Amino acid sequence: MIEVKGLSRYYGDFLALDNVSIKIPPGEVVGLLGPNGAGKTTCLRILTGFLFPSSGEVLIDGVDVFSNPLESKKKIGYLPEQPPLYPELLTFDYLQFVGRLRGVEESSLKAEIERVAGLTEISDYLFSPIRTLSLGYRKRVGIAQALMGTPPFLIFDEPISGLDPRQIVEMRGLLRKIGKDHTVLISSHILTEVRHTCDRVFILHRGKLVREIAGPDLDKIEDLFLQYTST
Amino acid sequence: MNQSNRLTFGLSRIKWIFIKEMKSFFGLNYPPVSLGIIALLCGIVSALLPSTPGTTYEDVSRALFYLYYVFILVDGLLLSIGAFVQERRQGTLELLYTLPVTDLELVLAKFLPGALFISVFSILVTAIYVVGIAEAPYYIALSGALGLILAGLFATSVALFASSLTGSYLISLLVSAGILLLIEIGGYYGGVLPSPAKEIATHFHGLSQFAPFARGVISLKACVFFISLTIFFLFLTVRVLESRRWRLQAGGNG
């Protein structure tokens, strides 16, 4: 379970995240929804240990992200909005690099790369230089690196941004497939995306958590989103 | 996890990042090209100097080492000014920060490729030109090569520090070149300053510290000088990386 308690973050005098508390149960695909500037990326970056909060606590399966970063980071796979890729490397070398740092054993590294490549449908591009891949495939490689070592929690920041309609449909299917075996947290500012992929949605607005939506309420997400983000 | 396991895992992570850095080094154009240009310059001056009439091997080897000293500083800068700049530009710093790697491991892994190239380069130019062409005795070659390696490691650590500060190659180059110039020029003109500034400035003069190596003397004081400055700038780099988690500005769509 991911537990976020009283998370706040200032950028200078600007309060980007205001006392946000979230519990993400295991096995769910959860969306973090909000307009641009709502604090979604800041929240995800704090969860992954990329940023420190001004106050608050984040526990990943009971492990504190800030007092025990090495342990907590082993439990998280993260895809930032811009896939963090080394264009000069082959896809295989890149996944090998990430896998090794996540502690995947050398004896099972090749099999793990083939597993994530199969899951994200990039097997044909394993020995292509990353610089030659399209944005859609780069996103897939980004997701594949997040899956290396089978971390129980996956965090994706705007995974569909910049993709064309066909790639969006494919990415949606991929996220659903991944969501069967992992707890997934997706940030997005696109309502339909969140509605199609998530079991639970948290709405952020101006740094505050304004609403949690789950179950049948997900069908009314558009109205609820407008209602809670109109001010 | 006990202390020895932690160390073993830490060293493995440094090794994996180091291997990735080596693959990236040969996957990019500018680092090998810059290294080649410096090697060519070394070759040209080394071919010209020994043919000057009336010079002994001591004069020639000393002059060569002084020139190599400048080249090795430039080399150290060129090899590492992009270390963190490149990561920041392509967004991979975010990946490294969110993988189970400590900032110290990251800095050491980034430092090692530069250190390796500097060491190989120093040994090669010394062996080819100082021993091969200038026919200097081995004790001069050994001390000179050691001096070059230490000076190169220092320059690499300065460049690494500068690259951790910014997302621009130019600024990284200017900052690191500025630090080295301050040390060299400050030390050179330090004699005109009143005490104790004079002593401090002249002590930090890199070329003066390097001079004994070029004469065949392994100076402990100079070894401590270069090693301590290298550690100091590596420490500063770790602190800059740590502080980025606090300083970083808002980004992304939300």
Question: Which pLDDT band, with edges at 50, 70 and 90, does A108 fall under?
Answer: very high
Q: Over 70: is that where the pLDDT of B250 sits?
A: no
Residue A13: both structure tokens together: 């005098």
In a domain, B134, yes or no: yes
Alpha helix segments (H runs only) across chain A? 40-47, 69-74, 91-101, 106-119, 135-147, 165-179, 191-197, 221-229
The pLDDT score that the predictor gives to residue A138 is 93
Mean pLDDT confidence for B40-69: 77
Q: Which residues from B are below 8 Å from A82, CB to CB?
A: 91
pLDDT of B247 > 80? The answer is no
Query: How does residue B2 score in pLDDT terms, banded at 50, 70 and 90?
Result: confident
Residue B63 has pLDDT above 90, yes or no: no
Q: Which of A34, A52, A101 sits opposite B254 (nearest CB)?
A: A34
Q: Does residue B33 lie within any of the structural domains?
A: yes
Is the bond preceding B196 in cis, omega lying within 30 degrees of 0? yes
Q: What is the pLDDT of residue A102?
A: 93
What pLDDT does residue B51 have? Answer: 62
In the sheet where A153-157 sits, what is the strand order? A76-79, A153-157, A183-188, A29-33, A200-205, A208-214
pLDDT band of A112, cuts 50, 70, 90: very high
Q: A61 pLDDT exceeds 60?
A: yes
Whether the pLDDT of residue B54 is over 70: the answer is no
* Average pLDDT of the residues of chain B: 86
Counting every residue written for chain B, the total comes to 254
Residue B18 placed within a domain: yes
Instruction: Give the pLDDT score at A80.
Output: 92
Query: Contact A76/B98, CB-based, under 8 Å?
Result: yes
Tell me the per-residue pLDDT of B199-245, one tens digit each, with 9 for 90 and over. Answer: 787 788 888 899 999 888 999 999 999 999 999 999 999 999 998 88
Is B251 inside a domain boundary? no
- Domain of residue B225 covers 3-244
Whether B97 has its CB under 8 Å from any CB of chain A: the answer is yes
What Rg value do the Cα atoms of chain B yield, rounded? Answer: 20
Q: Is the pLDDT of residue A145 over 70?
A: yes
Contacts of A176 (CB under 8 A, 6+ apart): A29, A197
Question: Taking CB atoms and an 8 Å cutoff, what residues of chain A touch B254?
Answer: 34-42, 187, 189, 204
Residue B119 pLDDT greater than 70, yes or no: yes
Determine the average pLDDT of the residues in B174-196.
84
> Does residue B254 carry a pLDDT above 60?
no
pLDDT of A92 over the 90 cut: yes
- Does A132 reach chain B within 8 Å, measured CB to CB? no
Q: Tell me if B124 is assigned to some domain.
A: yes
pTM of the shown model: 0.88
Q: Cβ(A84)–Cβ(A146) under 8 Å?
A: no
Chain B partners within 8 Å of A17 (Cβ): none
| pLDDT band per the 50, 70, 90 thresholds, residue A26 | confident
User: Would B250 be classed as within a structural domain?
Assistant: no
Task: Calculate the average pLDDT of chain A.
Answer: 90
A69 vs B100: CB contact, 8 Å cut-off? yes
Domain count, chain B: 1
Residue B253, domain member (yes or no):
no
Instruction: Look at residue B52 in the predicted model and tell me its pLDDT.
Output: 65
Mean pLDDT, range A103-122, rounded to an integer: 93
> What domains appear along chain A, each with residue ranges and CATH number?
1-75+152-231 (3.40.50.300), 82-151 (no CATH)
**pLDDT of res. B221:** 92
Instruction: For residue range A170-199, list pLDDT tens digits in order.
Output: 888 888 888 888 899 999 888 888 888 888
Mean pLDDT for the stretch of residues A201-227:
88
Structure confidence by residue, pLDDT tens digits, B123-164: 988 887 777 776 778 888 899 999 999 999 999 999 999 999
pLDDT at A125: 95
Contact B169, B85 (CB under 8 A): yes
Asked, for residue B252, whether it belongs to a domain, the answer is no
- Minimal Cα distance from A148: which residue of B? B99
pLDDT at A21: 94
| Residue B249: pLDDT band with limits 50, 70, 90 | low
